[in-house]
Structure 1
Amino acid sequence: MSESLSQDYLLYAPHPPASTLAQWLEESNRITRQILGHISAADQIVPQLNILNPPLWELGHLTWFHEFWVHRDGQESKPSFMKNADYLFNSSEMAHQDRWSTPMPSLDNLLEYNYSVVSSTQDLLRTPIDNKAAYFIQLAILHQDMHNEAFAYMWQTMGRSIPFTPFTSTSKFEAKARDWIHFPKSTMQAGSEQGSGFIFDNEKWAHSNDLPAFDIASTPVTNGEYLEFLQSPSNLGQSMPVAPPSHWKKEGDIWLERIFNEWLPLSSASALRHISYLDAQRFCEYHQVRLPNEHELSLLMSQKQGVWQSSNLWEWTSSTFTPFPGFTADPYIDYSQPWFDGSYQVLKGGSLFTPDRLKRVAFRNFYQAHRSDHFCGFRTCLL
């Protein structure tokens, strides 16, 4: 990588004023400490599954990440506030399965570590900051936002009570009548421009993309539509029919859906959630429709809200997570580059537990096709 390319992150300006970054940091860290500040010994224990992390390890990791990039310049030679932090909390080095068996600092010590790191950053934000400091502070905040959302879907997976108040109103979602929105053949810009503020490296760089004409649903797929598919002779007649989602169950003739620790009657008009890309594809095959690609979904999501209805979920696309033309890794090399292996799909949008600062149309979320534990759903396009 050339020196000029390795400095791309210095081009991610303008950055928000220090007062805004201080507010974001306070908000994000308050949520983390609210989730973990008084966590019981029982709730510190989670099963050893690929989709979960031990909560105390996750608290240590997000604090270490912040300290490492904001205060240690990404250098292990610069000391940490916590002994052995580089060994314990670097997710690129600590194997996933080892996070359960490796002794961790106490909750009190981890909260003290978190307080020391965040207080140091708030002190930094009371002085003039340059583009480099602003970049790494934003990276740390957004990384913590992602982990806060991960705590929310871990609590959902475990059937625990809701861990923090959603950012978006939880007033009951009911899908409106579906329209097929027609987009004529066009050339759109994908990716992000220099000078458009903070971006992640997988958004580099803006480029033209020719889109054939397409028709996309104004509303997401609903619970009722998915239940009809599950109960169809076509699905039930398969040698391996698609099973109901793990957070659904049937009692007598009534279908119920678990929302955190509550079982509620399944709302047929609510947006379908916790569905894998693989099962979404099976639904599409049954209905002879398809998933939108990431550029089609981006074009829809850049329209006014009245034209289309948000699902308040991350929405699957048919696009495999691959680098855009001109991609180069930023200092945190493991954010994107290791995951360009063909097994991840791009998602767009954002959930109730995603702050607005992460809900940029250009933002590319990505998960493996079999995952359904995050807050995900989908909408369809005509063939």
Structure 2
Amino acid sequence: MPRQPPFDQTPVSGPEASPLETLAQHHAAGQQLAADLPEPHLFGQHHPDLSPVGWHLGHCALVEQHLIGERILGEPADASIHALYFPEFSDKRGRSARLPEREALAAWTTATHERTRALLAEPPEPLASHPLMRDDYLAHFLEQHYAQHHETLAYCLSAITASRDDSEVASAPLERLNPCAPARETVTVAAGVYTIGTDHVRGYDNERPAHTVPLDGARLGRNPVSNAEWLAFMVDGGYHTPDYWTQTGDAWRRASAARQPWTWHEVEPGHYLWNGPRGRDALEPSAPVSGVNHHEALAFARWAGARLPHEFEWEAAAVEGHLHGAGTVWEWCGNALAPYPGFQPFPYDGYSMPWFDGRHFVLRGGSRFTEPGLKRPSFRNFFEPHVRHQQAGLRLAWDLTQ
């Protein structure tokens, strides 16, 4: 299998960039990736939960065209493009075969991006006076939407890395990973009433409105669970002990035959590498574990005599600056995504409402691939409990009485 070219996994923009400048930088990064990737990597589906790289690029362009051209300026929709790039109309398993050739994909996405930036820079009257333009909301929304897909592109490339056989492992230091018992160093969230959520223009609808909630108080791990701590769970039989798993988690454990995080690659017993978008690299013992799903996180917490934090406990601690390592890995929380009191869908009904189904669990914080603007304390990520391709780990929590 050909090796993919280097992928710039650093944030695309600095803190002083405007949302339109940041959007332009995302456009450029996506176009460069499309130009550099071998076609099997651009159009192939390398993980059942991940769409091809080319589909993500087309989807982001369609969202811009749909919101500005179709919804605001009243331009006719292209049913064939909707059928391919809107996920509700396009089965993930068939997207790879339906994508256009590289040149056609690049020409259409580039033209769409250029028009988007031109219209946002000098909006005609129907666009300038539209409610979505208030406080630059539309530019913020599109920039953040692309930022989330930019992160998913890193996961797509990591899936390519994970699919290689051992003969393609790059030379990397092979130091033995030694297990380490979970640390009990904690920070305290005192019992009280806390403000949760945001009313800022950048906040998504599921982050709004800001409101107060009472908390009983908790102790949270000062740091996310590390690779060495996760290895201790593995060595102690964590993946072979049903008692640590919920009923649905145990069904997943048996069906998947998982025995280590998705991002780990065992070269030889006790020696692991990390599957990343640039290839395989050394697995750092003290780095946060990543590539585990909600079932695995719950099992680890039960094994450690702890639990997962509620997302409100996590946000309260993050706002007070107590959480070390926040933003280095997405952190599973113990609760499912639910609307806040007074929730209003925006900018369209389908952005958050379909996921208030009790089957999508919240993650907080952000990963090494997340744009800084998304690493705000109120940001809510969410996935179904079996999903493990994203850079997700966990932080332990205990009641104050424990």
Deviations 1:305-355 (A, max 9, x none): 6x6333511111011011111112223222111111111101111111111
Taking a change above 3 Å as real, the CA distance of residues 132 and 180 of structure 1, as seen in their structure-2 partners, is same
Residue 275 of structure 1 pairs with residue 303 of structure 2: no
**Contact 2:64–2:116, Cα closer than 8 Å, also in 1:** no
Q: For residue 115 of structure 2, what is the aligned residue in structure 1?
A: 120
**Contact 1:201–1:328, Cα closer than 8 Å, also in 2:** yes
**Contact 2:137–2:201, Cα closer than 8 Å, also in 1:** no
Q: Moved runs in structure 1, 4+ residues, more than 3 A?
A: 47-50, 128-131, 175-178, 233-242, 249-254, 261-266
> Does the residue aligned with 1:148 lie in a helix, a strand or coil?
helix
Whole-Å separation in 1 of the counterparts to 2:238 and 2:31: 48
Taking a change above 3 Å as real, the CA distance of residues 119 and 47 of structure 1, as seen in their structure-2 partners, is closer
Q: For residue 250 of structure 2, what is the aligned residue in structure 1?
A: none
Whole-Å separation in 1 of the counterparts to 2:352 and 2:162: 31
Whole-Å separation in 1 of the counterparts to 2:263 and 2:376: 29
Match of 2:195 among 152, 172, 189: 189
> Does the residue aligned with 1:73 lie in a helix, a strand or coil?
helix
Whole-Å separation in 1 of the counterparts to 2:116 and 2:193: 42
> Does the residue aligned with 1:334 lie in a helix, a strand or coil?
coil
Deviations 1:102-127 (A, max 9, x none): 3x322222222222222222222333
**Contact 1:216–1:292, Cα closer than 8 Å, also in 2:** yes
Structure 2 matches for 1:162-177, cutoff 5 A? none
Match of 2:94 among 87, 92, 98: 98
Deviations 1:183-221 (A, max 9, x none): 21110112223xx22221112222210001211111010
Whole-Å separation in 2 of the counterparts to 1:149 and 1:297: 22
Taking a change above 3 Å as real, the CA distance of residues 187 and 226 of structure 1, as seen in their structure-2 partners, is same
**Contact 1:255–1:265, Cα closer than 8 Å, also in 2:** no
Taking a change above 3 Å as real, the CA distance of residues 309 and 59 of structure 1, as seen in their structure-2 partners, is closer
Taking a change above 3 Å as real, the CA distance of residues 47 and 106 of structure 1, as seen in their structure-2 partners, is closer
Taking a change above 3 Å as real, the CA distance of residues 107 and 252 of structure 1, as seen in their structure-2 partners, is closer
Match of 2:230 among 226, 233, 236: 226
Whole-Å separation in 1 of the counterparts to 2:338 and 2:394: 20
Residue 207 of structure 1 pairs with residue 211 of structure 2: yes
Please tell me the residue identity of whatever aligns with 1:54: P
Match of 2:143 among 141, 144, 168: 141
**Contact 1:181–1:217, Cα closer than 8 Å, also in 2:** yes
> Whose helix proportion is higher, 1 or 2?
2
Please tell me the residue identity of whatever aligns with 2:317: L
Match of 1:43 among 23, 41, 44: 41
Please tell me the residue identity of whatever aligns with 1:206: A
Whole-Å separation in 1 of the counterparts to 2:392 and 2:198: 24
Match of 1:312 among 319, 328, 348: 328
**Contact 2:162–2:265, Cα closer than 8 Å, also in 1:** no
Structure 1 stretches of 5 or more lacking a match?
A: 1-17, 162-174
Please tell me the residue identity of whatever aligns with 1:132: L
Whole-Å separation in 2 of the counterparts to 1:340 and 1:255: 40
Q: For residue 386 of structure 2, what is the aligned residue in structure 1?
A: 370
Taking a change above 3 Å as real, the CA distance of residues 83 and 105 of structure 1, as seen in their structure-2 partners, is farther
**Contact 1:183–1:214, Cα closer than 8 Å, also in 2:** yes
Structure 2 matches for 1:281-360, cutoff 5 A? 281-304=298-321, 308-310=324-326, 312-360=328-376
**Contact 1:348–1:365, Cα closer than 8 Å, also in 2:** yes
Deviations 1:3-43 (A, max 9, x none): xxxxxxxxxxxxxxx98122111111112112212321221
**Contact 1:219–1:311, Cα closer than 8 Å, also in 2:** no
Structure 2 stretches of 5 or more lacking a match?
A: 1-15, 164-179, 244-253
Residue 373 of structure 1 deviates from its aligned partner by 0.4
Whole-Å separation in 2 of the counterparts to 1:224 and 1:19: 38
Residue 91 of structure 1 deviates from its aligned partner by 2.0
Whole-Å separation in 2 of the counterparts to 1:192 and 1:158: 37
Taking a change above 3 Å as real, the CA distance of residues 153 and 48 of structure 1, as seen in their structure-2 partners, is closer
Whole-Å separation in 1 of the counterparts to 2:231 and 2:72: 49
Larger CA deviation: 32-41 vs 364-373: 32-41
Whole-Å separation in 2 of the counterparts to 1:323 and 1:236: 36
**Contact 1:290–1:382, Cα closer than 8 Å, also in 2:** yes
